[in-house]
Structure 1
Amino acid sequence: MAERLIPGDVAPNFTLPDETGKSVSLSDFQGRNTIVYFYPAASTPGCTKEACDFRDTLASLQAAGYDVVGVSPDPVKALAKFAAEEHLTFPLLSDEDHAVADAYAAWGEKKNYGKTYMGLIRSTIVVDSEGKVSLAQYNVRATGHVAKLRRDLKLDK
């Protein structure tokens, strides 16, 4: 497992397919701040809540200079269904081999009902316009995360 990212680190570049199958790279967002959030599984209650919160605040985030990209280990087909069902208007990227999640330290040991297993750790990394980490949050809660992130980024009045 990779070391957790901290502010000032260079964000690992990546290229992954989005929900339409088109390749999307972190470098596509150079010159803008980018919120890269990792979520365990499309169309599950917590991940749906988090994605819809990003969707509902996307215009104000973009107005403040932030793009949003969601990353999960789901296949492209599942992401396409999720995006269509929830009317998501930002890229959802498929990281089936979890190589990007691993590079961002968003893949690791989890515990649930007394069992330990490897899985995706709900995490959000904010990458600045120069490709450096400006904020790294791990083990975030799905509900209320976007509101907390907005406060942490000082976007709420």
Structure 2
Amino acid sequence: MTTPRLEVGQTAPDFTLPDADGNPTSLQDLLTAHGRVVVYVYPAAMTPGCTTETVDFEGALQELREAGIGVVGVSPDAPEKLQRFRDKHGITFPLLSDPDKTMLTEWGAFGEKKNYGKTVMGVIRSTFVVESDGTLSLARYNVRAKGHVAMLSKLLGVDLPEPAEG
């Protein structure tokens, strides 16, 4: 069973999901606040790849916001886990909870995927850019966590500071 995927030019399905504090947040709210929004989907908070990706988005947040782009992360994690994840890593953008995977499924980000050579059902790491009119200008599936934010920023024409040598 292949999950239908969203494509560039389509209208992004609206959603309203609880954030890490349990407050409902809709795609429309985010578009109203920012104009354009990066919606990224990740499998699970507190895991290495998802932490890397989320911390990278936080590191690029100022430059993205200056370019008129908001960021929101969505996972099936409960708000309580998202709250711990946010607080542990100092995340200042919304992390939304979709435990029943309704939004994830509508956006094509939950379904069959390959994991260590086996086909399993799960969250597909994905990134979308939603324009102010609600249409998608980017829909990428099976993205890699490492280096993803830098690649996305280049596509969006946003200059990021060079990472500090560590």
TM-score by shorter chain over 0.5: yes
Instruction: Give the letter aligned to residue 24 of structure 1.
Output: T
| Deviation at residue 153 of structure 1 after TM alignment | 1.1
| Deviation at residue 2 of structure 1 after TM alignment | 4.3
Q: Does 1:9 align with 2:25?
A: no
Cα offsets for 1:2-47 (capped at 9, x unmatched)? 4211111000000000000000000102341000000000010000
Unpaired runs of at least 5, structure 2: 161-166
Match of 1:144 in 2: 147
Query: SS of 1:30's equivalent?
Result: helix
Matches of 1:142 and 1:70 in 2, distance apart? 13
For 1:7-156, list aligned pairs within 5 A: 7-31=8-32, 32-156=35-159
Q: Is the 8 A contact 2:3 2:112 kept in 1?
A: no
State the TM-score, normalized to the length of structure 1: 0.96
Which 4+ runs in 1 deviate beyond 3 A?
none
Identity across matched positions, percent: 54
State the TM-score, normalized to the length of structure 2: 0.91
| Deviation at residue 108 of structure 1 after TM alignment | 1.2
| Deviation at residue 83 of structure 1 after TM alignment | 0.2
Unpaired runs of at least 5, structure 1: none
